[in-house]
C-alpha cells in the first residue's frame, strides 16, 4: 500500500490538499485500469491514445520544430513520422511504467548483450552510469543490476505529494542503492557515494539551463556537466546506456564507455567529456529518432551563456 504524503514536506492549504488528493485518486483509478490489462495490450492501447491526443497539444509543433532543427535534411513527412512515433513511445512508456514490476520480472522482455554486461562490470568498484530518454528508460537500471552493480538513482519529484509518494514507491525497487530527488543535497550525496566506490545513475540528455553549452545535432545545446564532473573527480568510469524498443514491450539495453578527458584543467576536461557523451547520445538518437523525447527545449540557450563557466569549482584540483 502506498504511504501517505511525505510528513517533512510543507503542509498544503485545505483547498490544495483536497485537489491533490483528488488528482491522486484519479491517477490511481487510471492506473488500476492499465494494470488490469495484459502488459502488451496496455502498452499498445496507451501508445494509440497518445498518438491520437498528443498532436492536438502545444508540444506537438515544438517537437516538429526540434526535429527540423536537428535534422534539416529530412522532409516534412519524415519529421511527422518521427514525432508520431515519439508520441506512441511516450504513451507506451506511461503504461509500462505502471506495470514496471511485471516488465522487470519477465526476462524475455529485456535483451542484455554480453558486451553490455562486460562494459558495466567495469563499474564494480564504482562508476557513473548515464542514460537518455529513449525506448523505455525506466528499465535501463536492469542492466546494472544484472552486472552486479548496486546503483543509486536520481529523479525529478512531482508537486503533488500523494502522487509523488506513490510514484516513488513504484520506482524505488529498481534502485537497490536508493532513489534520491533532484536538487543540491542530492548532488552532494551522489558525489559522496561515488567517492565511496558506489555506482550512481543519472539521466543526462535533457535541458539543464544551469549547466553548460555543447554542440548537439549541429547546434549549441544545454547540457548537464554533473556526470562528467563526478567521473573526473572520482577517477571512476563514465558509462552511457540506452534502451532501444524492439517491438511492443520488448527492449535491448546497450552500453558504451565514454572516455573521460584528463588534462588537469578541470573546466576544459568536464566540457570535453560532456561533449563526448552528447556525441554518443546523438549517434543513438539518429539510429532511432522516433524513440527519443523531442518535446524538451534542449536548444534554447539564451540564458545559458552567462552560466557556462561557473558550474565546477576551482580548476586543477582532483579528488581521490
Confidence of residue 8 (pLDDT cuts 50, 70, 90): low
Average of per-residue pLDDT across 278-282? 98
pLDDT of res. 10: 65
Average of per-residue pLDDT across 277-301? 94
Q: What is the Cβ-side half-sphere exposure of residue 91, based on CA atoms within 13 angstroms?
A: 23
pLDDT tens for residues 246-257?
A: 999 999 999 999
Tell me: pLDDT of 18 over 70: yes
pLDDT of res. 210: 81
Tell me: pLDDT of 224 over 90: yes
Per the listing, cell 498518438 goes with: 51
Average of per-residue pLDDT across 225-243? 96
Taking the C-alpha atoms of residue 239 and residue 260, their distance in angstroms, rounded to an integer, is: 10
- Chain CA centroid to CA 145, Å: 17
Considering only 88-102, 135-149, 176-190, which range has the smallest mean pLDDT?
Answer: 176-190
Q: What is the Cβ-side half-sphere exposure of residue 49, based on CA atoms within 13 angstroms?
A: 13
Identify the burial level of 168 via C-beta atoms within 10 angstroms of its C-beta, where 0-12 means exposed, 13-18 middle and 19 or more buried. middle
Amino acid at each position: 500500500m502506498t504511504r501517505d504524503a511525505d510528513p517533512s514536506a510543507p503542509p498544503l492549504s485545505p483547498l490544495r490538499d483536497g485537489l491533490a488528493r483528488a488528482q491522486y485518486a484519479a491517477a490511481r483509478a487510471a492506473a488500476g485500469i492499465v494494470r488490469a490489462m495484459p502488459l502488451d495490450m496496455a502498452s499498445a492501447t496507451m501508445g494509440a491514445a497518445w498518438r491520437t491526443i498528443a498532436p492536438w497539444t502545444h508540444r506537438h509543433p515544438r517537437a516538429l520544430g526540434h526535429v527540423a532543427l536537428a535534422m534539416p535534411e529530412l522532409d516534412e513527412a519524415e519529421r511527422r513520422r518521427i514525432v508520431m512515433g515519439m508520441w506512441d513511445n511516450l504513451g507506451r512508456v506511461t503504461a509500462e511504467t505502471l506495470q514496471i514490476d511485471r516488465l522487470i520480472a519477465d526476462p524475455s522482455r529485456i535483451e542484455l548483450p554480453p558486451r553490455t554486461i562486460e562494459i558495466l562490470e567495469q563499474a564494480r568498484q564504482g562508476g557513473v552510469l548515464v542514460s537518455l530518454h529513449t525506448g523505455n528508460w525506466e528499465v535501463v537500471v536492469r542492466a546494472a543490476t544484472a552486472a552486479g552493480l548496486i546503483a543509486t538513482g536520481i529523479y525529478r519529484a512531482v508537486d503533488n505529494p500523494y502522487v509523488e509518494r506513490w510514484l516513488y514507491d513504484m520506482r524505488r525497487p529498481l534502485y537497490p542503492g536508493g532513489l534520491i530527488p533532484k536538487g543540491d543535497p542530492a548532488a552532494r550525496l551522489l558525489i559522496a557515494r561515488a567517492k565511496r566506490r558506489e555506482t550512481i545513475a543519472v539521466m543526462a540528455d535533457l535541458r539543464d539551463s544551469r549547466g553548460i553549452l555543447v554542440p548537439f545535432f549541429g547546434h549549441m545545446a544545454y547540457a548537464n556537466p554533473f556526470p562528467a564532473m563526478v567521473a573526473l573527480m572520482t577517477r571512476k568510469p563514465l558509462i552511457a546506456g540506452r534502451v532501444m524498443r524492439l517491438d511492443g514491450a520488448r527492449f535491448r539495453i546497450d552500453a558504451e564507455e565514454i572516455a573521460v578527458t584528463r588534462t588537469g584543467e578541470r573546466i576544459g576536461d568536464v566540457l570535453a567529456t560532456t561533449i563526448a557523451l552528447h556525441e554518443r547520445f546523438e549517434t543513438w538518437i539518429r539510429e532511432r529518432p522516433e524513440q527519443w523525447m523531442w518535446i524538451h527545449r534542449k536548444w534554447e540557450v539564451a540564458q545559458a551563456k552567462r552560466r557556462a563557466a561557473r558550474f565546477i569549482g576551482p580548476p586543477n584540483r582532483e579528488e581521490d
